[in-house]
């Protein structure tokens, strides 16, 4: 009887520990499955694009003229910040931004065709195989990827909702900090999933979205010395590609400048009856260097519908009159280019670098005349 009791007790103990070990095993497997949810299997073939000329960082500026905004969600339901998908004529910009006490520890980005997303055998994306990624140490609250659109020139995605449409997956590891900058919460974050997004085919939460890059509408505008019709000449010019260009030559008296309007919506015959003001161009003379040399400083400021516009400002400046019988004949050594950023541009040109010599364009009350042609190409 004692032997039978001992045998029963032994079987009970074995069964008890077996059940406990099985329960622990299930929990470990679940935790491991969660950890490996976004990792590839042993036979997983990762699809990675070979991007070129990508720029990324906290200080990379999003200069897109077309923008879509999304919410960045951690743990499916926590609003930790936002995302912007934008484009201009040259690049695509994807920007991650967290808010409040949330910070970016890692970011992973996929942009391409859905068929090339590196999914594992369970149908979950292999985050580590995404072509664009960064670890943020120290953590940041904003980070931008700038990808030249030329990387996608030969790419056509099936079922895209638009020509040139691309699938975008934005993943981030985010941390919440307390007042002592200690991590008190960690979450995996993706773009907020909506009826318009596409859920991952696997069993993990998350989704991807289509993005249709758009070209910027380019606006051409010209400096126009309004109020002084006798000091303005309209001209035409044949460019290297054979296209006809036109513009205005504006006459000034050295060493004086001023502030004058910049107009768009000008007819090809220089008709300004329907002109629209996009900003002003101010020019002042300053002394720089040792010994001091005379420079002219151009300051462009946009306004109205073109406030904060980006683009290019071209300036031709020189002593001789650059227009002969309505044709631009100015020496190319007088041509200068500079960027317009956020609706502003400041550019200095040394007077000694101007083509010609003082007096080539005549004199006004003893002061030599000089000429300025300025054209703007702005993204609107």
Q: What is the pLDDT of residues 98-120, one digit of tens each?
A: 999 999 999 999 999 999 999 99
Burial of 94 from C-beta contacts in 10 A (0-12 / 13-18 / 19+):
buried
User: Using CA atoms, how far apart are residues 90 and 312, in angstroms rounded to an integer?
Assistant: 14
Class of domain 218-379: mainly beta
User: Using CA atoms, how far apart are residues 217 and 221, in angstroms rounded to an integer?
Assistant: 13
Q: Across the chain, what does the average pLDDT equal?
A: 86
Q: Where are the beta strands (DSSP E) in 204-320?
A: 207-211, 218-223, 232-238, 244-253, 258-264, 276-288, 293-302, 310-318
What does the pLDDT read at residue 49?
Answer: 72
Residue 37 has pLDDT above 90, yes or no: no
255 closest CA partner among 364, 373, 337, 375: 364
Residue 32 has pLDDT above 50, yes or no: no
Average pLDDT over residues 156-176: 95
What does the pLDDT read at residue 9?
Answer: 44
What does the pLDDT read at residue 63?
Answer: 86
What does the pLDDT read at residue 380?
Answer: 73
Q: What is the pLDDT of residues 259-286, one digit of tens each?
A: 999 999 998 788 999 999 999 999 999 9
Placement of tokens 């307390």 in the chain: 178
User: Using CA atoms, how far apart are residues 234 and 224, in angstroms rounded to an integer?
Assistant: 10
Residue 75 has pLDDT above 70, yes or no: yes
81 closest CA partner among 61, 93, 96, 95: 96
Average pLDDT over residues 355-376: 92
A 10 A CB-CB count for 209 gives 21
- List, in sequence order, the alpha helices (H) in the chain: 2-35
Give domain limits for the chain: 55-211, 218-379
Tokens in use for 251?
């006459």
117 closest CA partner among 206, 196, 188: 206
Placement of tokens 């400002």 in the chain: 313
Residue 274 carries which DSSP code? T
What does the pLDDT read at residue 7?
Answer: 45
Quick one: how many helices (H) and strands (E) in the chain? 1, 24
Indicate the pLDDT class of residue 292, thresholds 50, 70 and 90: low
């Amino acid at each position: 009887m004692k032997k039978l009791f001992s045998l029963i007790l032994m079987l009970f103990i074995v069964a008890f520990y077996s059940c406990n070990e099985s329960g622990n095993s299930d929990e470990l497997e679940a935790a491991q499955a969660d950890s490996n949810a976004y990792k590839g299997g042993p036979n997983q073939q990762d699809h990675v694009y070979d991007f070129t000329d990508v720029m990324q960082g906290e200080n990379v500026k999003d200069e897109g003229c077309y923008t879509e905004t999304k919410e960045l969600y951690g743990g499916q339901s926590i609003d930790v910040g936002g995302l912007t998908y934008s484009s201009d004529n040259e690049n695509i910009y994807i920007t991650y931004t967290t808010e409040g006490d949330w910070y970016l520890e890692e970011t992973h980005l996929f942009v391409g065709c859905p068929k090339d997303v590196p999914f594992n055998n369970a149908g979950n994306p292999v985050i580590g195989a995404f072509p664009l990624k960064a670890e943020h140490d120290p953590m940041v609250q904003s980070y931008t990827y700038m990808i030249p659109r030329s990387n996608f020139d030969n790419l056509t995605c099936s079922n895209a909702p638009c020509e040139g449409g691309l699938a975008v997956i934005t993943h981030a590891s985010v941390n919440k900090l307390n007042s002592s900058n200690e991590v008190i919460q960690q979450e995996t974050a993706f773009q907020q999933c909506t009826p318009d997004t596409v859920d991952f085919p696997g069993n993990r939460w998350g989704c991807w979205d289509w993005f249709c890059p758009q070209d910027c509408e380019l606006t051409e505008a010209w400096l126009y010395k309004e109020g002084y019709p006798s000091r303005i000449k309209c001209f035409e010019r044949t460019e290297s590609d054979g296209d006809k260009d036109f513009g205005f030559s504006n006459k000034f008296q050295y060493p004086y400048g001023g502030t004058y309007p910049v107009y768009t919506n000008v007819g090809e015959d220089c008709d300004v009856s329907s002109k629209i003001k996009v900003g002003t161009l101010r020019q002042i003379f300053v002394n720089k260097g040792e010994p001091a040399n005379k420079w002219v400083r151009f300051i462009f400021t946009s306004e109205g519908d073109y406030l904060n516009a980006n683009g290019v400002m071209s300036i031709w400046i020189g002593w001789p009159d650059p227009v002969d019988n309505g044709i631009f004949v100015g020496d190319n050594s007088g041509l200068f280019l500079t960027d317009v950023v956020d609706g502003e541009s400041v550019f200095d040109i040394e007077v000694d670098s101007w083509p010609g010599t003082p007096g080539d364009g005549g004199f006004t009350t003893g002061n030599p005349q000089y000429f300025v042609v300025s054209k703007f190409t702005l993204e609107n």
